[in-house]
Chain A
Amino acid sequence: MIVFSTPLSGKQSDREIIDYIYRQFFPLMRSVAARVLSGNVQDAEDAVHDAMIKIIKNVGVIDVSDRKKLRNLCCIIARNCALDRLRSMDRKNALTVEIPDDAEDERTLPDESAVSEEAFETILAAIGSLPEKYRYPCILKYVYEYKNKDIAALLGIPEMTAGTRIRRGKLLLQDKLRKEGYHE
């Protein structure tokens, strides 16, 4: 039985942080990548290797104080690398990771900070229906508050592309609001 430890304090060296990430999340990253890549273990290993290298290169900007957020971040990076590999292999029939995706509900929300519960559920559906290439940079921007430069490094895209995708992700959500008559 593995005992999963408490979060790091944030004062560790890079080596200690990578050691922690490997021990805590490497199996999960492999599991996430394998799901994207139709269970192909070799491809999943390659994808997770790419993800670990990205994490190592950017360990200085990764916040390790919140274990849950760090866990999600590792999964995002692993999934993103798996998707990149999938695209490059041009496999159209791979499974994708099941994320609660209420995309069938296309109602949208007001863009004010105080919204009703129903409206909030609708905006979550809109986020779920965002293409991953917009959704991941937006998550890293809004949840993790990374700068565009760091988002670009973590996702393996140019910095300007990261900025463009965040902007367009936001515009796509706002477009949906506008179509439903919520956006000013």
Chain B
Amino acid sequence: MNNKRNKNERDDILLKRAFEEYLLRADDSLPTDEEAYEEFPPSEEDRLYYLGKVKKRERASSAAKILKRVAAIVLAAVSVTFGALMMDENVRAAVTRSVVSLVDSGVKVKFMVPRDQDDQKKTSDVTIGYVPEGLAVKELHVDDHPNYRVVHISEMNDIFDTFVGISIFPSDEVDPGFSQPTWEKVYMSEINGMDAFMVDVESEIDGKPISGRSIVFGDEDISIMICGINISHEELVKIAENIEW
């Protein structure tokens, strides 16, 4: 995982140099400022028009700032209340059961963006490049949803002490079922340059300690939700980073 990150960083350094040089050379092909002025002299009317637009925006952003402060106070109050509720073991267990049930129900996640039609990827293009040692992969068929894929990674027994469920969807599927959770242990991160949100839950079921983790990420074509039970954060991230399309 570290080698991949180091390689990405080296690539980015080279690309930065290359794009900067490219831009420097591209500049030579542009008209000079004097030529542009002669061809398209600016007008005072246009200038005042655009400055008027700036004034409108400044007024609007003041109102937005007040609204944001109010929203922040409300959100803080809700978070404190919910944090207090999560101290209750029954609430925590219910949250864990929800995470597990999400795997089996194949809950759809919607990234609310219109699709870029060129180079569109399909769920069948997705490959899972890493499986933790000792675990096996099983792909399930999802009735009535030919574009969905559900993959289970677990021990080759029925105990399922360690279990990972991967749900793969087209990103533009309409879904009312899932939205970004507001639990206190949700945090934003990144998987292979794509925004991701992660949830960690520690609880117990029937006296047995259990840890659940979810990672949700994707792009405009494909969305991935990975739910893991009794698997470390690092292993789950490694599985996520080795999913490609």
Contacts and interface: CB of A to CB of B under 8 A. Distances in A.
Interface in A129-184: 138-139, 142-143, 148, 158-161, 163-168, 170, 173-174, 184
A48 B54 CA distance: 16
A75 interface: yes
A19 B47 contact: yes
B19 A100 contact: no
A99 interface: yes
Given A27-B41, A142-B19, A164-B220, A111 B11 contact: yes
B27 A68 contact: yes
A34 B27 CA distance: 17
Given A161-B113, A164-B220, A72 B34 contact: no
Interface string B13-46: 1111111111101111111011111011110001
B15 A142 contact: yes
B116 A26 contact: no
A184 to B, nearest CB: 7
A24 B34 CA distance: 10
B50 A27 contact: no
Interface string B170-202: 000000000000000000000011110000000
Contact of A123 (B18, B50, B51): B18
Nearest to B116: A161
B30 A163 contact: no
A128 B35 CA distance: 25
B53 interface: yes
Contacts of B57: 14, 56-57
A158 B33 contact: no
A34 to B, nearest CB: 8
Contacts of A109: 14
A52 interface: yes
A74 to B, nearest CB: 11
B144 interface: no
A162 B240 CA distance: 21
Contact of B15 (A18, A98, A138): A138
A40 to B, nearest CB: 13
B220 A161 contact: yes
Say which size band chain A's interface belongs to.
35 or more
Contact of A31 (B21, B40, B50, B114): B40
A128 B36 contact: no
B14 A26 contact: no
A52 B49 CA distance: 11
A59 interface: yes
B16 A22 contact: no
A160 B18 contact: no
A75 B26 CA distance: 11
A91 interface: no
Nearest to A173: B15
Nearest to A1: B34
Contact of B42 (A22, A115, A184): A22
A163 B16 CA distance: 16
A121 to B, nearest CB: 9
B219 interface: yes
A139 B19 contact: yes
12 contacts: A19-B47, A30-B36, A31-B36, A34-B40, A111-B14, A112-B10, A124-B21, A139-B22, A158-B220, A161-B113, A161-B114, A184-B7
Given A28-B36, A53-B53, A56-B54, 19 more contacts: A18-B50, A18-B51, A22-B42, A30-B40, A34-B40, A52-B50, A68-B27, A72-B27, A100-B26, A109-B14, A111-B11, A113-B10, A113-B13, A113-B14, A143-B20, A160-B220, A161-B116, A163-B219, A164-B220
Interface of B: 7, 10-23, 25-31, 33-37, 39-42, 46-47, 50-51, 53-55, 57-58, 111, 113-114, 116, 119, 192-195, 219-221
